[in-house]
Structure 1
Amino acid sequence: MNDNHNNEASIGMTWRVIGIFGGGIAALFVLSLLSLCFGEAKIPAATVLDGLLRRQDVMEHNLLWDIRMPRTVIGILAGAALAAAGALLQTITKNPLAASDTLGINAGAYFMVVLGVVAFPALQQQFPFVLAAAGGLLAALTAYFLSGGRKATPIRLALSGMIVSMVLGAFTTAIHIFKQTETQNLFLWGSGSLIQLDWSGVEYAWPFVIALLGVAMLAGRQFDALELDESTARSLGQRVGLTRAMGLGLSVLLAAIVVSVVGPIGFVGLVAPHLVRLSGIRKHRLLIPASALWGALLITAADLLARMVRSNLGEMPVGAVMAIIGAPWLIWLVLTKMKNISGSGSGQSSMNIGGVALRMRFAPTAISMAALLIVIILVSLSLGGTRIPIAELLGSLVGGGDSSYSVLLNLRLPRTLVAAGGGIALAISGVLIQSAVRNPLADASIIGVTSGAGFGALVVLVALPNLTIFALPFAAIAGGIIAAAFVFFLAWRKSLNPSVLILLGIAVSAIGSAGIQAMIVKASLWNSTALIWLTGTTYGRGWNQFYSMMIFLLILLPVAYYLGRKFDLLAFGDESSVGLGLPVRGTRLWAMIIGVLLAAGAVASVGTIGFLGLMAPHAVRMMIGHHTRRSIILSGLLGGLLLVIADTLGRTIMAPKEIPSGLIIMLIGSPYFLFLMYRSLVRKF
C-alpha cells in the first residue's frame, strides 16, 4: 500500500516538475517572441522569425538584433538572478518574506551606484558591480541583524528591510536633489529599466549570472540541509554557518549585478520562488533553476506589459510594472498563506522599544516645550535673506514697529505657521497609528498613506497642471485616504491585526511608489517642484494652506484627545483589552482613521515628510512613558518644533538656495530610525 502511495506521489511530482519547467520554458519562449514584436514600432511576428533565422541588413532586422534582443535577454538574466536570490534568502533566513528588495539589498546597491556617480565617477565607471555589491551586502546585513537574525519573524524582517530601504532612500533622494544634473539620467534607471542601446550590458552581466546560478545549484544539498532544524543539520555534518554565509553572498552578488545594469526591480524574488514552492518543489537543485526560469518569465511579462499598455506619458519602467504585479501577490500571501504572521511573544506587540522612561513631569515639560516652540517660531521669522531685529519683529506682529517689514512677515509668518501645524499633525498622527498597530516603528508611510497621497498629488500635477493650486491638497488627501481605506478593508477580516496592517501597508506603499516613479520619469518631473514637494517642503506656503491645516487640527485633535483613554488600552494586546471591555477592532479603526486624516491633511499642506511621525512619539515615550493623551500634546509640540527648525535651516544655511524641510527631517530621522531598531533588538534579545 505504501509502495503504491509512494509511486503515485513520485509520478505526481514528476508531472509537476515537467509542468514547471516545460510550461515555464514554453511560456518564456512565447513571451520573448512577443517582446521582440512590441515597442515604439511594431514588428510582425513573421518578420521577427525571419530576422532571427536569416538576419539581413534591413531596418527591422537591425532594430531586432541591436535593441530588442539585448533588452529581452537582459530581462531574462535579471529575472533569473533576482528570483534565485530570493529563493536563497528565503531558505537561509527561513522567512517567506525574504527577497533582495525586502532585505534592502536593492536599495543599498542603488544608493552606492548613485553615490559612485557623484563621488567616485572613475571607480563607478570601471567597477559598478563592486560598488553595488558592497552597498547591497551592507544593507542586507543591517536589515538581517536589526530584525533579530535567525530569530526574526516575517513581520519584523519585512519592517527592518523597509526601514533600511527608507533610510537609504532618504540619502539617495538627498543626492538626487543636491546633484540634479549629475544624477538626472539615473531616475529612469532607478525605477528599473531594461532599455539597452547595445549588447554591452548583456555581455557584462551574463558570465556573472550564469556562474553564480551554477554555484548555487551545485551547493543545492547544503541549502537543503538548512530546511532542517539547526541541531539536526549539524548532526548530519553540515556547516550551517558557512552555508548561510555562502547563500547570503550569492544572493547579494546576484542582486548587485542586476542593479548595476538595469537598476532596482522588486518583488521578483518574492513571487517566483513562492510560485515554484506552491508546486511542491523543495530540493534546491530544482528550486533554484525553476525559480530562475519563472523569474525570467515574470520580468519578461512585466516588460511586455509595459510596452503593450502605453499611455500618453509613454512606457512605464519595468520596476514599476513589477511592483504593480508583485504587490497583490504579497497581499494574497499575507491574507491566505501566513498563519502565524506576527510570531510569538510579547515583543511582537509591545509599544516599548527599549530604554527606560525619564519620568519627566508632564505639566512643566509641556509648558517648556510650548514656550520653546514660540521662541523658535520668532527666531525663524527673524531669519532669512533679510534679517529682522527681534524688537522690530515683535512690534510688527502687534501692529507697531517698522512697517517696511510687514510684507516680509506676510511671506514668512504663514509659512512658519504651516510648518508648525504640519509638524503637529504628523507627530500626532504617528502617536495614533502606533497605538493602533501596537508598533513604535509605524507611521503614515508604513501603512501606505504617504505614497497614496503623493500619487494623488502627482496625478493632478501631471494630468491637470492648470488646476494644481486648487486641486493638489484635495488630490493628496483623497490619495492618502483611499490607500488607507484599501488597507483597512483588506485587514478587516483579520480583525485589523497589527502585523497584517503593516504588511498590507508595505504592499500598498509599493503600488503608490511605483506610480510616483513612473510619473516622475515619464513626465520629466525630476527638475520641477514636484520632486521637491514629494520630499516635503514648506516653500511658498501661504495663508490658504494654514487655514486648511487648522481645520484638520481643530476638528480632529479634540476627538483624538477624548478617545485617548481607550487608545491607551490598545497597548495591552487584544485579549487583555477585550477582557477590560474594550471593543478592540472599533477602537483601533478610530485611531487609524484620525491618524490617517491628520497625516493626509499634513501631506496636502507640506508634502510627503517622512520620519517625523516616528521620531516625535518615541522621544515623548522616553520622557513620560506610555500615556496617549499626554503623548498627543507633547508629541504635537515636539513635531511642530522639529519642522519649524527644519524649515528655518532649509532656507538659511544655503541661502538663496533652499533645502526642502522634508529632506532635513529625513537626514536627521534616518540614523535615529536605525537607532530605534537597534534599541528594540537589544531589548528583545
Structure 2
Amino acid sequence: MITAVEAPATPLRRLGVAGAFLVTLAVITALAALHLTQGTSDTDLFALDDQAMNVLVASRLPRLLAAVSVGLALGAAGALLQSVARNPLASPDTLAVSNGAYLAVVLAATFGLSLPAFLAGGLSFLGGLAAAALVLALSAGGRTGTTRLILAGSATALALQSMTTLLMILFQEENTGLFAWGSGSLVQSDLGGVIQMAPVVVVAIGAAVALGNRLDIAGLGDDTAMVLGVNVRRLRLTVIVLAVMLSAAAVTVAGPIGFIGLCAPVIVRLLARRLPELSRHRALVPLSALAGVVILLASDIALRFVLGARAGVDVPPGVVTAMLGAGVLMWLARRHRDAGPTRQPPAVRTADPGRAAFGVILLSGTALLIGAVVLGLLGGDTWLLLGDVANWLQGRTGKALTYVLDQRWPRVAAAVLAGAALAVSGAAFQAVSRNPLAEPGVLGITAGAGAAAVAMLTLVPMAGIAVVSGAAGLGALAAFALVYLLAWRGGLSSDRLVLMGIGAHALFSAVTVLIIVKSDPWNTAKALTWLSGSTYGRVPGQLLPVAVALALFLPLALWLRRDLDLLALDEDTPRVLGVPLEPVRLLALGGAVLLTSTAVSAVGVVGFVGLVAPHAARALVGGRHVRLLPAAAVLGAVLVSLADTLGRTVIAPAQVPAGLVTALLGTPYFVWLLWRSRAGRP
C-alpha cells in the first residue's frame, strides 16, 4: 500500500490563510503608525494637543487613508486583470487603464470642469474602460501571448500619454501641477475624495470576492467552465468592469500610481506556492488588495525617509512604485518563455521589386524628402516664399528673413537626420531581435538616453552640446547593456528582449520624472517638450553627432546586409552558414544604440519612427537589408520632417513637439499591425 507523503509544514503553511491575512494586517498597522509620524512639521502626534490634532486631521490622516484606498483598489484590480487575461503581466498599467483614466481627468481640467470626486471617478471609469477594451481586443484577450499583450498596452499607453502631454503643453495654466500628479500623488487637501471613492472600492472588491468560485472554475479553461455552467464571456466582461472601476477610483484619488496592480498579485501568487489555498480567488483578490496597501505605504515611507519629509510633497510616490514595478516586470520577463504570434512577420504584404523599380521608389522617396525639407523651410509661424529661400542661399535677404531662416534650417536638418537615424536603428533592432514590433522606444533605449540628457540639463544647466550628447549616449548604452544582459539566458530570446526593454523603459521614465519633479516641480513645460521630442532651438553643433553616427553606421549596416538578412530568419540558419552570430549582433545593436543616442541628444525623445519607417520600407522594397536600410532612412527623415513642420504650423505661434505628432501618427499604424496579426496571420 502506498501512502501519500505530506508536504513539509513550512511556517506559512502552519499559519494558514487566516494567519496570512492576520500577518498582513499587522504589517499594515505597523506601517500606518510609522506613516503618521512622517511629515514636514515636527509635531508630536503622541501628545495630541490642538496643533497635533490639526496636523493629523488636515494632512497626515488624509494621506494615509488615500494610500490605503488606492493600494486596495490597485492590488485587487491587478489580480482580477491577471485572472481574466490568464497572464501574469496584466495590470492596470500594462493594459493602459490608468492612462485612459488619466487622460479623462486632464481633459476635464483642460475644459475647466471642476467635478466632484464621484463624477470625476465616472469620467475616469469611461476612459479606463475604453483603453482596456482596445488593448484586450488587440491582444485577443491577452491569451495569445504575453508579448502581444504588453506591446498592445504599451502602444495604447503611448498614444494616450501623447494626447495627455499635448493637452498639458497647450493648456499649461489649466493643467498646472498635473505632471507630478500624473505619476501618482498622495497629497490630499481633505478627505472628500477618499470618502466618495471608498464605497466604490469596497463594493467592487466585495463583488470580485463573490465571483471568486466562478473565477476559479474559469481558470480551468473556457470549455471546462462552460460545461460546469459558467458563462465565461459574461464573467470576463463583469470582471473587467470591476477592475476598471477600481483603477478609476484609484486615479481619481491619487492619479495613476504605477505597477502596484502588477506587483501585489505577483507577491501573493508567489506565496501561493507555499500555501496553495491562496491561489483561490476568494483569498487571492482580498490578499492582493492588502498587499497593494503594504507596497504603497512602504514606498511612501521609504521615499520620505531617503529624500526627506519635503519629498513627500514634491515627489510622487508613484515614481517609487514604478521603479519597483519595473524591476518586477523585468524579473518576470527573465523567467518568461513566449512563442506567441509576434515572432511571425508583420501582417504587411512585402514587395520584391526589381532593381529598376527599387531605383524609382528610392528616387521618389528622395524627391518627397526634398519636398518635405523645402516645406519645412517655408512653413512656420511666418510663411515664406521659394524666392525668399533662394535669396537667403545667396546671402541677399534682409535681417528679418535671414534671422528666420537661420533659426529654421537647423530645425529642419535636425528632423531629417534624427528621423533617418531612428529609422535605421529600428530596422537593425527588428533584424537582431527577430521581432517586427521592436523599436528603440519599446526597447528602452530612448528612455535611457532621455533620462541621462534630462539629468545633465538639470544638474549642469550650462552644459554644452557635446556634454549633453555624451550624457545621452551613456544613458542609451546603459539601457542597452541592462536590457541585453538581462535578456540573455542561454541565448537571446526575442520576446524576452522586448519585455526587458519595456521594463527598462518604465524604469528610466520613472527616473526622469523623479529628476524633473525633484529639481523644479512647477516648471514642467521644458521637460515635457524635451521628453516629447522637439527641434525648437536647435543649433548647427547639435547636428554633427547625428550626421557622424549615420555616416559611420549606415555603411557598416550595408556591409553586414547579408548577415542581417540571415539573422532575421532564426537562430540556427546563421550558425549553419558560418555567420559569427554574437559579433554581428553586437555590432548591429551597438550601432543602433549610437544612432538612437545621438538622435535623442538632437531632438529629444521621438517615438514610433523606428517602427513605422522600417515597416513602410519593407512593404515597398521588401525585406532585404540592402534595399530596406536606405529606404527606411529616407522614409524616417520624411516622417519626422513632416511631423516637425506640422507641429510648427498647425497652431502657430504655439508649437506641438514633433515627437507627439509622430506618436499620434505612428500609434494607429502600430495598432493596425497588431490587429492584422492578432490571429497570427502572415
TM-score (norm 1): 0.93
Distance 1:630 1:291 in 2: 52
**Residues 124 and 633 (structure 1 numbering): CA distance in 2 closer, same or farther, change over 3 Å?**
farther
| Range 539-548 or range 406-415, more displaced | 406-415
What is the match of residue 207 of structure 1? 199
What is the match of residue 106 of structure 1? 98
1:136-151 alignment to 2 at 5 Å?
A: 136-149=128-141, 151=143
Asked if 2 retains the 8 angstrom alpha-carbon contact of 1:16 and 1:279, the reply is: no
Do residues 460 (structure 1) and 485 (structure 2) align? no
What displacement does 1:118 show? 1.9
What displacement does 1:392 show? 4.6
Distance 2:445 2:321 in 1: 21
Q: Which runs of 5+ in 1 are unaligned?
A: none
Asked if 2 retains the 8 angstrom alpha-carbon contact of 1:449 and 1:484, the reply is: yes
Determine which of 654, 659, 679 is the counterpart of 1:657.
654
**Residues 317 and 468 (structure 1 numbering): CA distance in 2 closer, same or farther, change over 3 Å?**
farther
What displacement does 1:606 show? 0.7
Asked if 2 retains the 8 angstrom alpha-carbon contact of 1:36 and 1:43, the reply is: no
1:517-666 alignment to 2 at 5 Å?
A: 517-522=513-518, 523-524=520-521, 526-666=523-663
Do residues 427 (structure 1) and 423 (structure 2) align? yes
| Range 268-277 or range 114-123, more displaced | 114-123
What is the match of residue 187 of structure 2? 195
**Residues 3 and 35 (structure 1 numbering): CA distance in 2 closer, same or farther, change over 3 Å?**
farther
1:259-658 alignment to 2 at 5 Å?
A: 259-280=251-272, 281-310=278-307, 314-315=311-312, 316-336=315-335, 338=336, 341-344=337-340, 347-355=341-349, 357=351, 359=353, 361-397=357-393, 399=394, 401-402=396-397, 405-467=401-463, 469-522=465-518, 523-524=520-521, 526-658=523-655
**Residues 570 and 124 (structure 1 numbering): CA distance in 2 closer, same or farther, change over 3 Å?**
farther
Distance 2:557 2:86 in 1: 40
| RMSD over equivalenced CA pairs, Å | 2.4
What is the match of residue 21 of structure 1? 21
What displacement does 1:526 show? 4.1
Deviant stretches of 4+, over 6 Å: 1-4, 7-12
What displacement does 1:35 show? 0.5
What secondary structure sits across from 1:279 in the alignment? helix
What is the match of residue 250 of structure 1? 242
1:269-315 deviation per Cα after TM superposition (whole angstroms, max 9, x unaligned): 11111111112221111111111111110011011111112169834
Determine which of 91, 94, 113 is the counterpart of 2:83.
91
What is the match of residue 671 of structure 2? 674
**Residues 177 and 210 (structure 1 numbering): CA distance in 2 closer, same or farther, change over 3 Å?**
same
| Range 431-440 or range 571-580, more displaced | 571-580
1:357 alignment partner AA: A
Query: Number of residue pairs matched?
Result: 671
1:333 alignment partner AA: L
| Range 575-584 or range 366-375, more displaced | 575-584
Asked if 1 retains the 8 angstrom alpha-carbon contact of 2:452 and 2:475, the reply is: yes
What displacement does 1:427 show? 1.0
1:83-125 deviation per Cα after TM superposition (whole angstroms, max 9, x unaligned): 1111111111111111111111111111111112223715677
2:334 alignment partner AA: L
What displacement does 1:631 show? 1.3
Asked if 1 retains the 8 angstrom alpha-carbon contact of 2:166 and 2:656, the reply is: no
Identity of aligned residues (%): 37
| Range 81-90 or range 432-441, more displaced | 432-441
Determine which of 98, 112, 116 is the counterpart of 2:108.
116
What secondary structure sits across from 1:181 in the alignment? coil
**Residues 416 and 218 (structure 1 numbering): CA distance in 2 closer, same or farther, change over 3 Å?**
same
Q: Which runs of 5+ in 2 are unaligned?
A: 273-277
Asked if 2 retains the 8 angstrom alpha-carbon contact of 1:448 and 1:509, the reply is: yes
**Residues 391 and 109 (structure 1 numbering): CA distance in 2 closer, same or farther, change over 3 Å?**
same
Asked if 1 retains the 8 angstrom alpha-carbon contact of 2:100 and 2:131, the reply is: yes
**Residues 309 and 111 (structure 1 numbering): CA distance in 2 closer, same or farther, change over 3 Å?**
same
What secondary structure sits across from 2:440 in the alignment? coil
What displacement does 1:384 show? 3.8
**Residues 426 and 524 (structure 1 numbering): CA distance in 2 closer, same or farther, change over 3 Å?**
same
What is the match of residue 132 of structure 1? 124
Distance 2:226 2:576 in 1: 45
What is the match of residue 275 of structure 2? none
2:327 alignment partner AA: P
2:303 alignment partner AA: A
Distance 1:545 1:152 in 2: 44
What displacement does 1:589 show? 2.9
**Residues 659 and 333 (structure 1 numbering): CA distance in 2 closer, same or farther, change over 3 Å?**
closer
| Range 589-598 or range 18-27, more displaced | 18-27
Distance 1:348 1:303 in 2: 38
Do residues 234 (structure 1) and 204 (structure 2) align? no
